Amino acid sequence: MTTQSILADTESRMKKAVDALRRELATIRTGRAHPALLERITVDYYGTPTPITQLATVTAPEARLLVVQPWDKSTLRLIERAILNSDLGITPTNDGQVLRLPIPPLTEERRRDLVRLVHKKVEEGRIAVRNIRRDALDKIRTMERNKELSEDESRRTQDRLQKLTDTYIGQMDALGQEKEREILTG
């Protein structure tokens, strides 16, 4: 294993951690209707937990309204029940064809709770990136102990690893700040 392959693998894993954070933050309600709100809600469809987005078209025709149009009308009740049982706190209206989900405006207290949740998710992402860095550092130090790397090369690689870590933690912080702004102004 070379230092280049260690750094490439580390960067790939850190990108995945940032993408995971981006997906997590997309599911947090901001007061605006966004189809990503329903991505993590699953419906028991013929004994299989299936995401709503695989059973229906989810659109946001207005800033405070989501419309769920199932491809199979028999799933309408199942989707409605899944949304009611979720932690979204939204009551859908069913007209027999589609579900309409009016998104109520957020209270100040709920906004503060959501901001705290965003901070928690960003911190979890940072921890994931730091764990990835730790794994790479262990590999580099092992290579140095086994005399596969010189001390200088080890130091240079560790410096590049730290720059990578700083870059991805910065991206996570930026995502968190953007989501926080969205929540507070939404």
Instruction: Give, as one character, the DSSP assignment of residue 68.
Output: E
pLDDT tens digits, 86-108? 877 788 888 888 899 888 787 88
pLDDT of residue 10: 94
CA pair distance 61, 68, nearest whole angstrom: 11
Structure tokens at 140: 């580099």
Domains of the chain by range and CATH?
Answer: 3-26+107-185 (1.10.132.20), 35-102 (3.30.1360.40)
CA pair distance 124, 2, nearest whole angstrom: 29
pLDDT tens digits, 11-22? 999 999 999 999
Residue 78 scores a pLDDT above 70: yes
For range 41-61, the mean pLDDT: 87
